Structure 1
Amino acid sequence: MELASNHLYHTHRFDEGNPVAERKTRLAVMLTAAMMVAEIVGGYYYGSMALLADGWHMSTHALALGLSVGAYVLARRYAQDGRFAFGTWKIEVLAGYTSALFLVAVALLMFYQSMQRLIEPIVIHYNEAIIVAAIGLGVNLITAWLLGDDHHHDHGHHHDHHDHDLNLRSAYLHVLADAATSVLAIIALIAGMLWGASWLDPVMGIVGGVLVSVWAVGLLRDTGRVLLDAHMDDPVVEEVREVINEVDPEAHITDLHVWRVGKGKYSVILSLQSNNGLSPNDFRKALSIHEELVHITVEINQFNTSL
């Protein structure tokens, strides 16, 4: 049995931290927290349940954004820690997953409060509520622009959706969810003020809840796949099989493991049966042409020809 890995002393740092995103997310936390306080205080002061609900709803986003910042910090801090077999990138993915759970909680809260308001309508101070909601929307749009610029830049180089920074995407979705609920609240408040359609406020809350749920489920699915190493159906796996077939058409793959260790970066462990006198290094070099394969281990077992 022969074995080849990348090289004798190789790094296990594939993707950890994202300095630009970390800085922008930290700023997003401060903006969101400030607006959250303003909405909660405004809600109590104007007796507006709509504002109060939006303020508390914003607090979960502030918490989730804080989680995103913490993940970047931890990924950087533990980048050299030998306990992490394949680097610290999954800290960021774990934060994205946890953040998606917060989004689910936000959606449930929106459903619950909206149903409550449909059954027991409350008196809304429209003018004040619209002003504070509009300011909230402004803050959300600034924050979304701040994070969105980097979020789109992050996957602009590759069309492959696996290149996303899932931690940044979760932060971006929280801000978008906030902006969407602000827009829906403003529409409902204006309609209520002009046409007395107070039922629109809770209906828009339900619409917002559906929207947030859809985003949350998508994020849970993407981050969950990474955390569970469910990547054997990714196109890169077929590429590995094709390369092996090109190098030695008679080689037989007996074991293959491919999993993600960074944004668009994969690790491969491969066992082959081959009798063509090729070394593991020959296969490894051929696989190394694919830049997304950053950690390759090849093992060759010769056929038993003595039988």
Structure 2
Amino acid sequence: MTNCNHSQWQPSHDYRPLEQSSEKRTWAVVVLTGLTMIAEIVSGYLFNSMALLADGWHMASHMVAIGMSAVAYAFARRHVHDRRFAFGTWKIEVLAGFASALVLVMVALLMIGESLLRFWVPARIGFNEALWVAALGLVVNLLSAWLLRDQPHQHAHHDHDHDHDHDHDQNSGKDLNRHAAFIHVLTDALTSVAAIIALLGGKYFGWGWLDPLMGIVGAIIILMWARGLLRDTTKALLDREMDDPLVQQVRERLECVPDTELVDLHLWRVGRAQYSCIFSVVTHQPYSADHYKAQLAGFAKLVHVTAEVNRCGERAQVDY
């Protein structure tokens, strides 16, 4: 057998973006959240404020979830060349986003339980001290949200032939791990705003019932955000991508080849906006697998294509 450079035929399965800004920003948010959490818990004990203590421990749960997102980035980057991951390590980040969504659900349920309890057993609140710390928490959360916001380039690359489907699938290209951390800090900001409104109402109007009511409202909004995040992450984890517009576009492109019947097609996401595709066709013509793969060359999102060509009376030709 003649010498051949096999490396040129081996596809790369690293579908994660080269930039590491999301990882660095997430770690920065972990530090900010941790410092604010310590300040709120210490202030809660010093000023005998149950509101600050509750918000501090609530922020602690978010720090754990955001820290999990940061660890997922590091783990995925460390094992990016590990061949045991068949299609790269991108789904590690998605799994972290799914776990974060579950944490959000638990936090929301705890908030509802605590709020209902406070309707019957009101807690005495040090309004002035709590207002200052709640305002500090809001500033930190807004800064954290700014750090974790969508970057302009994250949605800048699309297939020119398929821009009209961008609105159909807004999550294509989205960093679900970073998005999970972003939702966590948004929920913290929401609870800080709710706490400030409730504290002002209690201080100036004596509306003690406003505090638990705002807690329930905030928890319901958190559950709505968590539901969307669970939907997006489970879709990627379970490879439920066959309703993606790209599937129909691939089908139409292959069936445009004369005397060709598409008998099997599988498409699933292996990166934020990258897909793997396996298809099988039947034809009477002497078309090669490369011929069919060339028909899909215009789909930039397809990064790993396997083709099987079946001819009547012949064995199938498979090309990876």
TMscore range, shorter length: over 0.9
Q: Which residue does the alignment assign to 1:4?
A: none
Partner of 2:122: helix, strand, or coil? Answer: coil
Residues 40 and 53 in structure 2, CA contact (< 8 A), matched pair in contact too = yes
Q: Tell me how many residue pairs correspond in the alignment.
A: 297
Q: Which residue does the alignment assign to 2:184?
A: 174
Aligned partner (choices 217, 222, 236) of residue 207 of structure 1: 217
Aligned partner (choices 218, 239, 264) of residue 273 of structure 2: 264
Measure, in 1, the Cα distance between the counterparts of 2:69 and 2:198: 31
Structure 2: which 5+ runs fail to align? 1-7, 159-165, 315-320
1:69 pairs with 2:66: no
1:251 pairs with 2:252: no
Q: Which residue does the alignment assign to 1:228?
A: 238
Measure, in 2, the Cα distance between the counterparts of 1:253 and 1:242: 9
- Note the alpha carbon deviations across 1:173-205, whole angstroms, 9 max, x for none: 000000001001100100111100010000000
Partner of 1:273: helix, strand, or coil? Answer: strand
Aligned partner (choices 274, 279, 296) of residue 288 of structure 2: 279
Measure, in 2, the Cα distance between the counterparts of 1:208 and 1:53: 14
Partner of 1:262: helix, strand, or coil? Answer: coil
1:162 pairs with 2:191: no
173 and 18 in structure 1: CA distance in 2 versus 1, 3 angstrom threshold? farther
149 and 279 in structure 1: CA distance in 2 versus 1, 3 angstrom threshold? closer
Measure, in 2, the Cα distance between the counterparts of 1:281 and 1:149: 38
The percent of aligned pairs where both chains have the same amino acid is 51
- Please report the TM-score for the alignment, with normalisation by the length of structure 1: 0.93
Considering Cα pairs closer than 8 Å and 6+ residues apart, tell me whether 1 or 2 has the greater RCO: 1
What is the CA-CA distance between 1:161 and the residue it aligns to?
Answer: 2.2
Aligned partner (choices 287, 305, 311) of residue 302 of structure 1: 311
Measure, in 2, the Cα distance between the counterparts of 1:192 and 1:141: 24
112 and 153 in structure 1: CA distance in 2 versus 1, 3 angstrom threshold? farther
- Please report the TM-score for the alignment, with normalisation by the length of structure 2: 0.90
CA RMSD across the alignment = 1.5
17 and 218 in structure 1: CA distance in 2 versus 1, 3 angstrom threshold? farther
Measure, in 1, the Cα distance between the counterparts of 2:274 and 2:29: 28
1:83 pairs with 2:93: no
30 and 43 in structure 1: CA distance in 2 versus 1, 3 angstrom threshold? same
- Note the alpha carbon deviations across 1:71-99, whole angstroms, 9 max, x for none: 11011100110100000000000000001
Structure 1: which 5+ runs fail to align? 1-6
Q: Which residue does the alignment assign to 2:4?
A: none
279 and 21 in structure 1: CA distance in 2 versus 1, 3 angstrom threshold? same
Partner of 1:242: helix, strand, or coil? Answer: helix
